[in-house]
Structure formats: structure tokens, C-alpha cells
Structure 1
Amino acid sequence: MQGTTDVRSSDSNGSLWRKPVSGVVKTLLLVYAAVTLYPLYWLMISAFKSNQEFFNRPYAWPQNFQIDNITRAWDLGKMGQALINSTIVTLAAVVLTIVLGTLAAYALERFTFKMNNIIKGIFLLGMLIPIHSTLVPLFIFMNKIGLLDTYWSLILPYTAFELPIAIFLGMAYLASIPREVEEAAMIDGNGWWGVFGRIIFPLCLPVISTVTILAFLRFWNDFSFALVFINSQALKTLPLSLSLFSDGFGTDYSLTMGAMFIAVIPTIVIYLIFQEQIMKGMVAGSVKG
């Protein structure tokens, strides 16, 4: 009886401690969410203000919504063509990253061969190289092979620099998938390509979604590579179009915010589509079995 009483008292004390701690954690999470979402809210209300109201009432709700900020930014910045260019470059680079990264992760995780550890080390080294330090040699290389000022001048570097992250996330996730699943598929008559296409790739959808959103954000918002490798107005991406509203003498903030509002919408849509899979992919690789 005494032991039972002690257990009950300890459980009640534990529950008394859990409630305040849970409340503090929830409060901190709400504060973090508010701090994270506020810049997006500020961007959206600023996109509908005049320049005068932007400076006089920077944090207030717009008195008169300036809808023409969006339409003028779309026309002056040639946002339609820039949106098409960014979509082509980003989608092509994301698809290449997913296909090559998943295949490489599967080979490095499931197969044993002499160069396995060396190849893993090379990809790890790729994660340590500062991306922008390669701009000059890449510019010279692209110019010599005739890829400068083309879509491929962005697609290939984007894919190359994103592959290490995709491969290591994929390897961590594949480690949580039992090998018995592949053995059962082999018994059913599938070859290695059948196992990969019918079993492994569908099972890897959570980590593929994670890689997709990380790669999408990196490619969609890149400015430096597009600035160096793209000269033609017809091939300019969204970040380059945003720079048109600022020069050495000043910045038209109403048009800049309107253009940024247009540019950020696809990012929000992609995140909302993949958010559940992203969470699964980020945590699944940490648990085996």
C-alpha cells in the first residue's frame, strides 16, 4: 500500500510539473511562429502601399490599397518572362537533383564496393566548398564550352551543388528502410531497376519532398549565379528582375515590394503542398527499424 501511494504521489507531482513546462513550450513556439511569420506579413502589407505611406507608416495596415503596385511591377520588371525562366531553371534542376541524388544515395547505401567510402568523402567535401568561390572558374568554363547565357549555365551548377545534401539525406533515410523489403521484391522477380523504381523510390517520397523544397528555395531565390552567367534580358530570372527597381540613386519600394510579393507566392504554394512530407523526411532518417 505504501509503495502504491508513493507511485501515485510521484505521478501526480510529475503531472503537476508537465503542465507548466508544456505551457511554456507552447508559448515559446507561438512567439517563434509570430517572429517567423511577421516578415511575410510585413511584405504583404507593404506591397500595397505608396512610397510615402511606406516611409510614414511602415508597420501599419495600408490606408488605401495600391493594387497597381502589382500590375506595374509585373509590366516594368517583365515578371511574366522572368517567372517562366525561373520555373524552367528551377524545375529542371530539382528533377535532376532528385533523380541523380536518389540513385547515388541508393548505390552508396545499399552496395559495397572499393571506392564507396572515397566517393562519400568526395560528396562530403562538396558540402564544404563555398559555392560563391567557384563563380570565376565556372564562368571561364561555361564560356569555353559555349553554355554561358543559357538555361544550362544555371541548371548544371545548381544540380551539382545541391547533390551532396540530397545524397546524404537520401542515405540517412534509406538506412531506416529494412533490406528485407528489397529481398522480397527480388524474390517476386524484380531486378535492381525494378526494385528501385517500384519499391525504393516510392518509399523515399518523404525525403524526396524535403530535398525538393530545400532545392526549390535555393534555386528560386538565387541571385549571384544568375547575375554572373545570364546576360540576355530574355533569360533573366525573378531575382534579377527584382534588382531592376533599384539603382545607384534610389529604390522604388512600392514596386519592389509588389515584385517581391509576386516572387514569394510560388514558394508559399510549394511549401504548403509538401509541408507534411517535409516533416516526415526530416525525422525519418533519425530512426532505424
Structure 2
Amino acid sequence: MKQQQTRPAETAVSLAYPNRKLARKGISGLVKLLLLAYSLITLYPLYWLFISAFKTNQDFFNNPYGLPVEWMKENIVRAWDLGNMGRAMLNSTIVTITSVLLTIVLSLLAAYVLARFQFRFKKVVMALFLAGMLIPIHSTLVPLFLMMKEIGLLNSYGALILPYTAFELPIAIFLAMAYMISIPREVEEAAMIDGNGWWGIFGRIILPLCTPIVATISILAFLRFWNDFSFALVFINSQALKTLPLSLSLFSDGFGTDYSLTMGAMAIAVIPTIVIYLILQEQIMKGMVAGSVKG
């Protein structure tokens, strides 16, 4: 009798289990499909940029979404030569790399102090950095222009490096601080027992552990600095110091735009960004989720 009473329940469970498994597979498949669709939507503008870089102006307007009727490789060569993009890329590289390195060094030092030490006015200092995140960057162009004119920094690499670093520091400090808080203090205590001072702990323990957040800060800062147009437009007038965004503007004037050369120049300018992101993507993902879970 007992066996007869339990069989219906066992049968119901056995029937429900395949249904649940099938439902989970369906949900998983739907999620993957949605992610694939999102990836294609995200990548399509990049695809469109590269195929447009090899079109003539007529082909660009007549067939904006299709493949080029004739692949114009000359667009890339002409854009490189006419826009003096070799020099512009060198200028962008110098400004961007220097600004990124300064941002990383200063933000990690400041974040380490804020994450590990207690001192008077700590909350005030953090509030000041927070206020720096709230200031509209472009509202400072005129004051910065006047300031740099007085101290003789206009038309120099410093005219871009210093503002870039200053405006990127607040967000970089808060990202690094959130990451460092998640690092167990026992690691530092063990290093201190081994005879390391604060600088030894920072250089030998903290820095190697901060590789993911350094990658995250680097790519975010790189994208901001590499693509900046407004600061370079206001602070740089010399042709020899123009950055890539300024070079792109040479193909457009008040009378029209040469889209074939513009797309070719943009394709050249976006390649370094893609390469750096592909190199750092794994560390970037680790850095973005770091600090969200303690332990």
C-alpha cells in the first residue's frame, strides 16, 4: 500500500524534472540569442566604418550599407598623407601614454592612502575628489585657456597632458580605492612581518595585485584621451602638435565633407583603440567586477 501511494508523487517529480530542464535550456538559448544579437548590433558600426573607408564618395551615398563596388585602397593612403596622420598619431601617442601613466601612478598612490590609512580631513579629501567628478569638463575650457596663456603652456604637450590627468584622476582614484579595499589586510601584515615598509608593501604587494584595476583605468583613460577633440582644438594651434581628432577635421569644411577620406582616416585612428582593448580585455573585466564582492 505504501509503495502504491508514493508512485504518483514519484511519477510527478520525474515528469516535472525534464520539463524544468527543458525550460532552463530554452531560457539559456534565448539569453545566448539575445547576447548574439546585441553583439552584432554593437559591432555593426565598426563594420560599417571599415567598409565605408574603401568607398568612393558616390558609392558612399548610393550604397551606404553594402560592400564597396570597387575597393579603393587609395583612400587610406591619401588620408594618411593629406591629414599628416603619421605626425598626428605620434602626437596623440605621446600625449595619451604620458597622461595615462601619470593618471595610474597618482591615482594608485592616492587610493592606497585613502583605502588603508586613517587621518584628519579624510572625508573632506574624498569629498573634493567627488566634487571633481561632478564638474562639467568643458565648462573649464575658458579658465584653463587663460591660465595656460599666462604660464606659457599653450601649444605644448603639457597643455593637454595636465588637464587630461587632472580630470581623469577622480574616477581613477575611486575605482582603485574600491579595488584596494577588497584586498585583505592580512596580506600587508604578513609583508610587514617580513620586514617590508609601506613603500615595499605598495610596490611588491599592492601593485601586482592591482593589475586588473590598472588595466581598467588604462583603457578608460586611453579612450578619453585618444578621442578628445575640444581640449586639443582650444589649446593647440601648431600644425606640428595637432592630434588625431584634429587631423580628422581637416577633411571637412564649411562647404562639404570628403567622406571617403574621412572614413579612411577614422579607420586608421580607431585601430590602436581596438588593439589595446583586445590585449587588456580580460584584465578589464576583472577590474570592473573587483570590489563588488568582498572576501
Shorter chain as denominator, the TM-score bin is: over 0.9
Other structure's SS at 2:286 match:
helix
- Show the 5 A alignment for 1:179-218: 179-218=185-224
- Cα offset, 1:18, TM superposition: 1.5
TM-score by length of 1: 0.97
> Corresponding residue for 2:228?
222
Aligned equivalent of 1:23, options 22, 29, 35: 29
> Corresponding residue for 1:245?
251
Deviations 1:81-124 (A, max 9, x none): 00000000000000000000011111001000111111111111
For 1:74, the aligned partner's letter is W
> Corresponding residue for 2:121?
115
Larger radius of gyration: 2
- Do structure 1's residue 155 and structure 2's residue 157 form an aligned pair? no
Which structure 2 segments of 5+ residues have no match?
Answer: none
Deviations 1:36-84 (A, max 9, x none): 0000000000000111111111111112111110111011000000000
- In 2, distance between residues paired with 1:175 and 1:221? 31
- In 1, distance between residues paired with 2:61 and 2:232? 31
For 2:132, the aligned partner's letter is G
Other structure's SS at 1:266 match:
helix
> Corresponding residue for 2:40?
34
For 2:105, the aligned partner's letter is V
Other structure's SS at 2:45 match:
helix
Aligned equivalent of 1:286, options 281, 289, 292: 292
- Show the 5 A alignment for 1:1-80: 5=10, 11-80=17-86
- Show the 5 A alignment for 1:102-181: 102-181=108-187
- In 2, distance between residues paired with 1:13 and 1:201? 50
Which structure 1 segments of 5+ residues have no match?
Answer: none
For 1:55, the aligned partner's letter is F
Deviates more, 1:24-33 or 1:5-14: 5-14
- In 2, distance between residues paired with 1:7 and 1:193? 62
- In 2, distance between residues paired with 1:235 and 1:183? 48
- In 2, distance between residues paired with 1:115 and 1:232? 43
For 1:198, the aligned partner's letter is R
- Cα offset, 1:138, TM superposition: 0.6
> Corresponding residue for 1:265?
271
- In 2, distance between residues paired with 1:156 and 1:104? 17
Percent identity, aligned pairs only, is 73
Aligned equivalent of 1:234, options 240, 248, 253: 240
- Cα offset, 1:28, TM superposition: 1.0
Distance 1:177 1:51, change over 3 A: same
- Cα offset, 1:17, TM superposition: 2.5
- Do structure 1's residue 255 and structure 2's residue 276 form an aligned pair? no
- Do structure 1's residue 88 and structure 2's residue 94 form an aligned pair? yes
- In 2, distance between residues paired with 1:93 and 1:11? 57
TM-score by length of 2: 0.95
- In 2, distance between residues paired with 1:152 and 1:17? 59
Other structure's SS at 2:67 match:
coil
- Cα offset, 1:180, TM superposition: 0.4
- In 2, distance between residues paired with 1:7 and 1:124? 55
Deviates more, 1:148-157 or 1:11-20: 11-20
